[in-house]
Amino acid sequence: MTVNGPIPSKAMGITLVHEHVLVDFIGADSITEGRWNKSEVAEVALPYLNQIKKLGCLTLIECTPAYLGRDPLLLKSISLSSGLNILTNTGYYGAGNNKYIPRSTFDETADQIASHWTNEWENGIDGTGVRPGFIKIGVGSENLSDFHKKLVTAAARTHLKTGLTIASHTGPSIPAFEQLEILHNEGVAPVAFIWVHAQTEKDIVMHIKAAKMGAWISLDGINDDNLQDYVGMIKNMKENNLLDKVLLSHDAGWYHPGEKNGGKYRGYATLFEKLIPILRNEKFSEKEINQLLVLNPAEAFTVRVRKIN
């Protein structure tokens, strides 16, 4: 489900699964769309989108949640002007000590929270008509707090109603496995769950363990300075026949409201210009590269309910 409506998963092509166009860290209490000018943001972001389009990328998954600068109409307009498919999301980001959670949420039940998210799927986001393509939540990096358990429960219930994949900003393995347990208790299969920022977990045995359960392992912080780390993590998955569970991206961008011209914007080209050539040198076949860049994102983000059998 893109910001311009549904497309067949096969039409996604080469996909970046975790990037940002705009993020505003001001907090849920203070954020408004008046803090940025859509046409200025579009002007800043477009050259970076055009660059990856030229490199063969067809789809960009924009992971900025509500209350952190999610702007469906901005994404819709830059999708049309760049020709890239763009996905946005529903859900709440609890990482960062709940600074990005609207206060009214804390007293709500998991079902009430799930009903807000399901409503965005059914009726579009905030009257824009734009529908979310996945659920994005965020949890802390230690054991889950009760409130974060509630967010995960809400995500599981939203998944069962909508078929949207759950991408959770997680980091280390402790909260990753705790989330998988909650999903299990709610009857949601691990294959509906993306362990976002799995590269934060340095014990790569945990990547294998979660992937064998069926979860997606998102190695999504690629930059010019950490390429060898990524090659190591990807080879680890290949050696365990788990390349079909790996997602790759940069977590790059983005326009920073409040900074001059949106501040420093990091582009999305390193994967194409540097990492893939290294993988080719490391004897990865074109079939394996296609698996990583095309088949896995299409499989991960296809909208369908995934229950435990």
Positions that interact with Zn ion (CB under 5 A): 63, 251
Considering the complex, state which of residue 118 and residue 218 has its C-beta at the smaller distance from Zn ion.
218
Question: Residue 122 contacts by C-beta under 8 Å, 6 or more apart in sequence?
Answer: 162
Considering the complex, state which of residue 96 and residue 187 has its C-beta at the smaller distance from Zn ion.
96
Considering the complex, state which of residue 65 and residue 190 has its C-beta at the smaller distance from Zn ion.
65
**Please, what is the minimum distance in Å from the beta carbon of residue 288 to Zn ion?**
25
CA distance linking residue 62 with residue 21, whole number of Å: 7
User: Look-up: residue for tokens 């790569």?
Assistant: 204
Question: Residue 64 contacts by C-beta under 8 Å, 6 or more apart in sequence?
Answer: 20, 21, 22, 23, 70, 71, 88, 89, 254
**Please, what is the minimum distance in Å from the beta carbon of residue 265 to Zn ion?**
14
Considering the complex, state which of residue 110 and residue 176 has its C-beta at the smaller distance from Zn ion.
176
H/E stretch holding 73 reads helix 72-82
Considering the complex, state which of residue 63 and residue 217 has its C-beta at the smaller distance from Zn ion.
63
Question: Residue 270 contacts by C-beta under 8 Å, 6 or more apart in sequence?
Answer: 222, 223, 224, 227, 250, 252
**Please, what is the minimum distance in Å from the beta carbon of residue 104 to Zn ion?**
25
**Please, what is the minimum distance in Å from the beta carbon of residue 137 to Zn ion?**
12
Whether the Cβ atoms of residue 132 and residue 273 lie closer than 8 Å to each other: no
**Please, what is the minimum distance in Å from the beta carbon of residue 18 to Zn ion?**
6
**Please, what is the minimum distance in Å from the beta carbon of residue 262 to Zn ion?**
16
**Please, what is the minimum distance in Å from the beta carbon of residue 184 to Zn ion?**
26
**What b/e readout covers 195-228, taking b as 16+ CB neighbours within 10 angstroms?**
bbbbbebeebebbbebbeeebbbbbbbbeeeebe
Shortest CA distance to 210 belongs to which of 168, 251, 148, 151?
168
Whether the Cβ atoms of residue 14 and residue 294 lie closer than 8 Å to each other: yes
User: Look-up: residue for tokens 């009257």?
Assistant: 127
CB atoms within 10 A of CB 10: 10
